Chains A and B, each alone.
Chain A
Amino acid sequence: MATSSVSKGCFVFKPNFKKRKISVPIEDYFNTGKNVSEDSKLRFETYQLIWQKMKSETEQLQEELNKNLFDSLIEFLQKSHSGFQKNSTDWSCQIRLREIPTAALVLGVNVTDHDLTFRSLTEALQKNVTPYVVSLQAKDCPDMKHFLQKLISQLMDCCVDVESREEESMQATQKKTYCSMGFLSSWYMNVTQKTGPKVPSRKRTSSGQWQSPPVVLILKDMESFTTKVLQDFIIISSQHLHEFPLILIFGIATSPVVIHRLLPHAVSSLLCIELFQSLSCKEHLTTVLDKCVLSPSLFYIFQLLLTTQFPFKLSEKVLQALTNIFLYHDFSIQNFIKGLQLSLLEHFYSQPLSVLCCNLPEAKRRISFLSDNQCENIRRLPSFRRYVENQASEKQVALLTNERFLKEETQSLLENLHVYHTNYFLVLRCLHKFTSSLPKYPLGRQIRELYCTCLEKNIWDSEEYTSALQLLRMLAKDELMIILQKCFSVFKSSSGKQLGSTAKRIEEFLTQFQSLDAEAKEEEDASGSQPKGLQKTDLYHLQKSLLEMKELRRTSKKQTRFEVLREKVVNFIDSLVREYLLPPETQPLHEVVYFSAAHTLREHLNAAPRIALHTALNNPYYYLKNEALKSEEGCIPNIAPDICIAYKLHLECSRLINLVDWSEAFATVVTAAETNAGSTVSEEMNEIIHARFIRAVSELELLGFIKPTKQKTDHVARLTWGGC
């Protein structure tokens, strides 16, 4: 059946056998088309498993992060509503009664994540505070009428489960006819009085102890509401507040100042605003990264067999690409997680050996089942080849010929890799504890920055690292002790055997520092007996003695015991870093767990269609790879596709283009390409060339480079101001 027609634009295709559905399992698509690659099914399952775990992990995290915010919000709502409940005659209460309690929720500019937050907020409120929770978006409410209509229809939906059917139909008619605040408050009275006696047990438990639960109105995107609608609504509803207990929640993306910018004083004085700040999205990112990418032992207790929860790791470039997209483009956690998912998928899709990217015992089991092809794949890994080259010659031969030996070796290598990771993250955290408190943060403030640098290269070669060490050598004692304490707890939380001694060393350092305290006191006493060096002198003498003292200090360089100890600690950390924070590229088999194709990520997540178009038009050789099309920068040969030539010519024009000139120029170029010098041009050929020109022009119009204009006959207007 054709999909082009002059009378319709939609074509529905249904397979004939509708009931007998042979759905192709998704994992079948995991094969890369023709060549059925190894273990695709297993790989797909592993992917699913890891992704599910990651997803639930992040969701849980999000919930935890929101929990604090929601708790305080709910507390505020309950408190502010209690005044309405008590009907107290207290004067301050009376005053407060005239103000609409308002919670301003600052959520950050990552608008895409807000929906999730609001959804869970609505659920939480409905569970804890009131059944009447309404959320409105600016685009639904261009004016007051729509605003109220939406509000009323949503409110009525809220309690539709307790209303009977007929009432619902009645509401439907009312919905359309009559929307006002008066109607709303009478409706509210009606409902609360009815539900009060009628369904006491159910309602009471859900909405707390209140007779009349408040109505919570969430304005999701406060900034984009029309000021007039907002003002009117607030003024009107404040008049009805005594019979219609409204509570507002503003979702704010920028800063709380915007409330006062949108609302004049007369209106904002009707509100009783309290500010709630959500966790900034950047903090959020750090925690997400921390948990997902770096968490070696989050589920340690539950899965004793698992030491690294997510065997899958990102390489430096990928991590950088993802954080760049996040920081420079959207601030959206959702998109970040999407990127994570995509990289996971790409890894399992493109790397046949990713079948080993699972927890260690499982991987070991899988190694023993590896096919010959897969063994060949292992041998082809660059990191493995490097490893083989460093072995003795008999071992080399054995590794390259003997499958069994190779498998054993792979197992041990994987185990090494695993141990490497465990140590790596411990030392990384430890180093982060040290560097995160330094002035100016030479190695970055967030652990992700540190992680990126460590992944990229030998960190000890970098200038930042040396300057950080220098700064560390100047730390005061109590600071140092706090850091050491933290490191100690990091190491202690892991029960890795290899680094057990490290924890002990740190503990030793700590006790030494403590003993230093006592000794220092004694020393102080001793130094107290020293004669006072400087008494009343003149300027010359003072200078002289100061110089002497300086000289003395330099030559003798007598360090205090604290300094010696500090030096030791720093050297110890340095040695730890040099031993354990090797970049992953140095590890054999790192390709199995590290995903490094950052360019695919960028291509699919952060594409640049404009540049692609520009390149295709300007430099067809880039795509067509025909030697005849090769040319220098900025020009194209005359045999290039028609549209490229037309495009090139149109770049030479300013705002308007004369079609006749254009077509003639085009014809000149094309005829020169088609005819060899001397031969005449037939009329038919001219016609064809003209037709080609027409096609090229209408294609450029479709692409949005030009548009027809009526300013002058037979002219088109240029729409772009780029390129040359």
Chain B
Amino acid sequence: MNQLELKEDKMLEVRFVGDDDVLNHILDREGGAKLKKERTQLLVNAKKIIKKPECDLEEDDQEVLKDQKYVEVLGRDIPESLKNGSAANGGNKVYSFQNRKHSEKLAKLASELAKTPRKSISCNLKDDPEVTINIPQSSKGHSPSDKVQLKNSDKSEFLSTKSSGLRKRLIVPSSHSDSESEYSASNSEDDERVAQEYEEDSNEVVLSQKIQAQNRVVSAPVCKVTPSKKMKRNKTNDLVEEYFEAHSSSKVLTSDRTLQKLKRAKLDQQTLRNLLSKVSPSFSAELRQLNQQHEQLFHKWMLQLHLGFNIVLYGLGSKRDLLERFRTTMLQDSVHVVINGFFPGISVKSVLNSITEEVLDHVGTFRSVLDQLDWILNKFKEDSSLELFLLIHNLDSQMLRGDKSQQIIGQLSSLRNIYLIASIDHLNAPLMWDHAKQSLYNWLWYETTTYSPYTEETSYENSLLVKQSGSLPLSSLIHVIRSLTPNARGIFRLLIKYQLDNQDNPSYIGLSFQDFYQQCREAFLVNSDLTLRAQLTEFRDHKLIRTKKGTDGVEYLLIPVDNGTLTDFLEKEEEES
């Protein structure tokens, strides 16, 4: 470790030299005097670290303090601001790296949360002998694997340091938790050994359960202490190491349970909606109050929009309803366009199209998006009586967050007579704008935390636990097929059947054209490959099939619909006929 640190410090030292240009640029030469002093201090710091690496913890703390100072300067008189959430805690907490957690903690925290209604978690767990009982039944089932994880995590912590001698030395301070020290022997072992132990462990499920239960009660309070210990370590320079530690190990340290074993695995959109409608929202009075506060700003927003600013809303909770209310109360008498950024098919092109075609009543096409943009810009510049409000829900959505899209929307919004009010939700949304774009947008930020559920926004998304019902593609399939000739239907059915036959083949890339032609001929569906090609073009136009060139240059045909839908479709077809 020491060696490593030494190396790093040496690299650090080199760093400070090249900054002259930047400094000179930022400060006038004379004004730089102050800064220069600081800079030399930094240099001294670095040297000190080299001399005695033990003291780097302290030094780093100082660095952190310095950073805090900077944060303080920025966030001065924070107590004054009542509304802004940033007041509650400085940037430090949000941006520090998290300390490593054991997955066991998840269950534990849950039980704690459940156990202590309206009370803090940090109560002493020793007084609650029922902790283990509170953990749901099944969690016992996976506790051995938990243990393995613990071990694994220990191991991976030390994997970064290669020499085993060092490892042994490091074990001693790390034995702050019972479970860890119990298995510390395995720390110095190789991967294979651990794998073996895993097997042993799973054999010993019954035996180890008792120990586990005991362990839990005892180790819980001990674990409580560890965060503070780790926090201290956090501040030292192995923050970065920790990050890479967590991301480098290829082993996943979670239990192997899957949703399939659970009874309720995936719900479809409809049942999900039905179920959620039965839940009565809590804190409705408070939420209403929050909303009222935001609604009082409507007049101000209109004013600021008219004065050349654009408005962006951020904060937790769907802002769709709020913007909708803004639209219905303030914008009834003016031309406005609502853009659902969360709609999966949205694109800048469609936004521009709706402006040119529906707002400006333009007939005709444009060579490119940029041409279209230029045309719109000119139109609005020429006619100052034109006014347009753009409401964009989720400006940071998957489809709109690209650089080009943002540039185009920014250029639109920089016009005097286009007023933009948008909402963002993603954690890193502000990263999409560089300085140039920000100056185009000319944002005024408003925090509108609503806590309302993102119902509409997440309904399109292929969410993790929501089963795609596929009702939409099925109905469109049926509609298209009905308009086809019987021969064409037969051709398509052939393709479906072939695809379903091959659904278990993971390397299936499609049906090659030649084979397909052969099959169609045999079924008396086509008489030449030209007619087949004509049919395929029609399918392609309806997006029913997709063609792909294989590695051997042969065309492969594939239906881009999931197999469940295809089976449903075949069943329906048979019913009808």
Contact = CB atoms under 8 A, between A and B. Distances in A.
A661 interface: yes
A276 to B, nearest CB: 15
Interface residues of A, number: 143
A441 B454 CA distance: 55
Contact of A661 (B33, B85, B254, B463): B254
Contact of A648 (B76, B96, B113, B442): B113
A695 interface: yes
B330 to A, nearest CB: 9
A22 B333 contact: yes
A207 to B, nearest CB: 27
Interface residues of B, number: 155
B463 A604 contact: no
A533 interface: no
A673 B300 contact: no
A695 B436 contact: no
B339 to A, nearest CB: 5
A513 B142 CA distance: 93
Interface string B337-374: 11111010110001101110011000000000000000
A317 B76 contact: yes
Contact of B106 (A5, A645, A662, A715): A662
B445 A603 contact: yes
Interface stretch (B20-28, B56-64, B182-190, B202-210): B20-28
B424 interface: yes
Contacts of B93: 614, 722-724
Contacts of A15: 332-335
A11 B337 CA distance: 5
B275 A649 contact: no
Given A26-B307, A669-B113, A655 B247 contact: yes
Contact of B275 (A26, A691, A704): A691
A619 B103 CA distance: 23
Contacts of B114: 638, 668-669, 671-673
A3 B340 contact: yes
Contacts of A720: 427
B117 A673 contact: yes
Interface stretch (A106-114, A228-236, A523-531, A572-580): A106-114
A170 interface: no
Contacts of A445: 28, 30-31
Contact of B439 (A334, A662, A703): A334
B296 interface: yes
Contacts of A687: 264, 275
Interface string A699-718: 10111110010011111100
Contacts of A598: 76-77, 80
A652 interface: yes
B316 A643 contact: yes
Contact of A29 (B84, B106, B306, B327): B306
Given A612-B84, A612-B316, A317 B91 contact: no
Given A282-B28, A604-B445, A4 B454 contact: no
A283 interface: yes
A711 B117 contact: no
A178 interface: no
A255 B89 contact: no
Nearest to B457: A702
Contacts of B449: 612, 616, 623
7 contacts: A10-B350, A599-B78, A612-B314, A623-B85, A635-B122, A641-B282, A687-B275
Given A22-B333, A599-B81, A608-B86, 20 more contacts: A12-B337, A12-B354, A32-B299, A111-B435, A317-B77, A445-B28, A599-B84, A603-B83, A604-B445, A614-B94, A615-B85, A616-B449, A654-B101, A661-B139, A661-B254, A664-B138, A665-B110, A701-B464, A712-B254, A721-B97
Interface of A: 3-15, 22-24, 26, 29-33, 108-109, 111-112, 254-255, 257, 280, 282-283, 317, 320-321, 324, 328, 330, 332, 334-335, 338, 341-342, 345, 349, 440-441, 445-446, 598-600, 602-617, 619-620, 622-626, 628-629, 631-632, 634-639, 641, 643, 645, 648-649, 651-669, 671-673, 686-688, 690-695, 697-699, 701-705, 708, 711-716, 719-724
